[in-house]
């Protein structure tokens, strides 16, 4: 067993460290900016260095301020997707010498829940299919899970959800979760495409990353788990439409016209614009129970990554709620940025042959806004709603260029800390 104590060099304010080894006991001194996100990154750096030097027990004495951010960073920085590897990370025990204990505990929980979402996203689609997501939903303590199967979906007329899944051997489901009081509840809707080939509009590259297209579902499952764990007072209902967008003889075709659960007809102009279809049915259904607010989560568009990179999610909808979520993002480092819902982009979604098209008239401009405009058509005018496009914050193909960092290549669980903070503080 190798012990390491990590402490702050108060004379240094830049990103430096000094390592001293004395047999099995080690000392690591870090210098870093003393801001919440600096502490979050320093916590991640500390645990990454501890693993680098093969410490098994780590004592962290970095700062008395921003304790929660520090603990979040330690948890997030310790993440490694090693489920399928024989050799795991070395650190087995972490203790903190300084900081408010309640804040440290809260940071650890937020980090652990984000890492839970990261695991769900990183697990490959041959293991994380609709049946496994159902099992995850049923395992959440204090949360009631109701599973709506294919027969129920057909009976209700959720043709969008069914159409996307037609090419898959896996069965589609709609997962319903409830927590706390139903009156004045908030609805969470999470896109659950367990694998996305693009359908007949086949994706031309990066298919190995398409297991991550259920990042919205992962975020919702983590938040519902966190609501029970943190005993959040706000009542919640969650809706997770789960499909696999595959190719097969029954797969939907470009040019098909389907009827959504709301009765709106949709012309399929691109089978790779599938996430908005399943969200349309789920949003319509969620409104039947009269939520005071709806927050939907989706790895919806690559265009959002073009606009905001992997640094922030795009948030659309009710202005007040967008601003509140942006504030929660600043506090947690799980950032979002408000994007406009302009009429010009809504007109891109008009169809010559149906009520609406699932793909815009010009895919090269405002793709994330076009997708959000499509979703807005399925939200009642008096319904308070926001859409989080977490395509960039849920998963990234490369490591952050800024180092050290609490994000990593692969899943990063965007939306979890952001919305948990909102639910915890309203």
Active site residues: 203, 276
* Sheet with 25-31, side-by-side order of all strands: 16-22, 25-31, 3-8, 57-61, 93-96
Rounded distance between C-alpha atoms, residue 1 and residue 20, angstroms: 17
What residue ranges in 303-414 does DSSP mark as E strands?
313-317, 336-338, 356-357, 385-389, 395-396, 410-411
Q: 57-61 and 93-96 as β-strands: parallel, antiparallel, unpaired?
A: parallel
Rounded distance between C-alpha atoms, residue 256 and residue 297, angstroms: 26
Rounded distance between C-alpha atoms, residue 372 and residue 294, angstroms: 14
- The packing angle between helices 215-230 and 130-138, to 10°, is 10
Please choose, from the candidates 177, 194, 193, 175, the residue with its C-alpha nearest in 3D space to the C-alpha of residue 185.
Answer: 177
- The packing angle between helices 215-230 and 416-425, to 10°, is 40
- The packing angle between helices 319-332 and 416-425, to 10°, is 110
Q: Is 319 exposed, middle or buried (0-12, 13-18, 19+ CB in 10 A)?
A: exposed
Rounded distance between C-alpha atoms, residue 100 and residue 68, angstroms: 8
Output DSSP code: residue 210. Answer: G
Q: Phi, psi (5° rounding) for residue 405? A: -150, 155
Cβ neighbours around 18 below 10 Å, total: 11
With beta carbons less than 8 A apart as the criterion, state whether 179 and 233 touch: no
Q: How far is CA 39 from CA 65, 92, 327, in A?
A: 9, 22, 18
With beta carbons less than 8 A apart as the criterion, state whether 115 and 413 touch: yes
Please choose, from the candidates 131, 291, 307, 280, the residue with its C-alpha nearest in 3D space to the C-alpha of residue 191.
Answer: 280
């Amino acid at each position: 067993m190798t012990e390491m104590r990590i402490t702050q060099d108060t004379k240094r304010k830049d990103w430096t460290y000094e390592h001293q080894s004395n047999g099995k006991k080690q000392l690591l001194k870090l210098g870093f900016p003393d801001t919440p996100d600096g502490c979050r990154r320093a916590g991640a750096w500390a645990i990454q260095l501890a693993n680098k030097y093969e410490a098994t027990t780590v004592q962290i004495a970095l700062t008395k301020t921003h304790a929660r951010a520090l603990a979040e960073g330690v948890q997030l920085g310790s993440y490694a997707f090693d489920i399928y590897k024989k050799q795991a990370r070395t650190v087995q025990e972490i203790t903190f010498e300084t900081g408010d204990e309640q804040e440290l505990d809260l940071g650890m929980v937020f980090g652990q829940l984000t890492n839970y979402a990261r695991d769900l996203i990183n697990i490959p689609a041959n293991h994380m299919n609709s049946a496994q997501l159902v099992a995850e939903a049923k395992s959440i303590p204090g949360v009631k899970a109701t599973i709506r199967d294919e027969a129920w979906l057909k009976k209700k007329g959720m043709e969008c959800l069914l159409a996307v899944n037609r090419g898959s051997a896996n069965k589609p489901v709609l997962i319903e979760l409830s927590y706390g009081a139903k009156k004045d509840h908030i609805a969470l809707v999470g896109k659950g495409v367990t694998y996305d080939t693009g359908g007949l509009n086949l994706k031309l590259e990066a298919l190995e990353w398409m297991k991550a297209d259920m990042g919205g579902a992962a975020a919702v499952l983590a938040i519902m788990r966190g609501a029970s764990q943190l005993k959040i007072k706000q009542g919640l209902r969650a809706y997770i439409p789960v499909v696999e967008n595959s190719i097969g003889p029954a797969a939907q075709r470009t040019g098909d016209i389907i009827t959504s659960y709301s009765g709106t007809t949709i012309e399929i102009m691109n089978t790779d614009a599938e996430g908005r279809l399943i969200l349309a049915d789920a949003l319509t259904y969620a409104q039947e129970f009269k939520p005071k607010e709806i927050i939907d989560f989706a790895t919806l568009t690559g265009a959002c990554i073009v606009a905001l990179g992997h640094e922030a999610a795009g948030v659309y909808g009710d202005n007040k709620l967008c601003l509140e979520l942006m504030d929660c993002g600043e506090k947690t480092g799980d950032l979002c940025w408000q994007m406009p819902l302009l009429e010009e982009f809504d007109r891109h979604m008009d169809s010559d042959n149906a009520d609406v098209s699932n793909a815009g008239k010009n895919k090269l401009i405002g793709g994330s806004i076009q997708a959000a405009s499509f979703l807005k058509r399925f939200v009642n005018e008096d319904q308070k709603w926001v859409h989080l496009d977490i395509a960039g914050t849920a998963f990234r193909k490369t490591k952050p260029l800024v180092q050290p960092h609490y994000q990593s290549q692969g899943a990063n669980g965007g939306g979890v800390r952001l919305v948990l903070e909102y639910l915890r503080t309203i």
